[in-house]
Amino acid sequence: MPIDAKKLVKKASQLMKPVEKFQCESPRNTTTEGETITFDYAWATHLNDDDFEWVFALFKKNMMEMYQKSQWGYDENSKRNELRATTSRFIIAVNSKGEKIGYLTYRFVVDHNIPVTYCWELQISPSYQNKGVGGMMLNTLERLSEKAGMSKVMATVFLYNSPSLGFFHKNGFSEDVTCPSEDSGLDYAILSKATP
Ligand SMILES: CC(C)(COP(=O)(O)OP(=O)(O)OC[C@H]1O[C@@H](n2cnc3c(N)ncnc32)[C@H](O)[C@@H]1OP(=O)(O)O)[C@@H](O)C(=O)NCCC(=O)NCCS
């Protein structure tokens, strides 16, 4: 593995507030209806129990059925551990009333010897979906990826999650070189977008 990839990922993972440090928040901060959205940033290990339960409840509401029908299945404990992993970082979207309405979790990782920003979960509350919030968060992640020296942003999406596939494609993502082929029989795609 090129030493630089490991070094870059380690360095980026140690940053406490990278979006603030690099001032790379998305320039868009209003929904399609004109409501101002703000963002909080936290390491997973610094989320308090109430915040974490909100994170998990939204994951469950949006994704449980999709996981139940997937080849991976739905394993609550392993998902909880994943979301709370020490390398997991959160961007949390807050509406004008101060209510949390969505989150993106990401990690800096070395994937096939390349330093990448992995969009691990992107979950928007049902009443705020399709209002541009996910797009703002993904844009922030792309800008952060560039500042942190990562080569690309990656995401894994179930093949039957059409809204999410549509969302990532609209934002310029396409099949990653490591994406399983159509005849693999696997039920997910690995998408990516190169960092400029
Ligand atoms: C997918 C998700 C993260 C997108 O975030 P969002 O804030 O709703 O997305 P935005 O409003 O920024 O962008 C919406 C775009 O998504 C795409 N999209 C949404 N629904 C779609 C559908 N049924 N088919 C195709 N594309 C769709 C469109 O390109 C749409 O753009 P448009 O407004 O020009 O039509 C969000 O809807 C969500 O949380 N969904 C449930 C959980 C989930 O699937 N998470 C992703 C796991 S990988």
In terms of residue numbers, what domain contains 71? 3-153
Arithmetic mean of pLDDT, 110-114 = 96
Arithmetic mean of pLDDT, 178-193 = 96
What does the pLDDT read at residue 1? 54
Task: Let me know the angle formed at the C-alpha of 179 by 176 and 180, rounded to the nearest 5 degrees.
Answer: 165
Taking the CA of residue 166 as reference, the ligand 1 atom at the shortest distance is: 26
Number of structural domains (the chain) is: 1
**CA-closest residue to ligand 1 atom 37:** 129
- The pTM for the full model equals 0.96
What stretches of 45-182 adopt beta strand conformation (E)? 89-94, 100-111, 114-124, 152-158, 174-175
Kindly state whether residue 176 falls inside one of the protein's structural domains. no
Residue 1 Cα to ligand 1 middle (Å) = 35
CATH number for position 52: 3.40.630.30
DSSP 190: E
Kindly state whether residue 179 falls inside one of the protein's structural domains. no
**CA-closest residue to ligand 1 atom 25:** 166
Kindly state whether residue 94 falls inside one of the protein's structural domains. yes
Residue whose token pair is 């969302």 = 167
Kindly state whether residue 192 falls inside one of the protein's structural domains. no
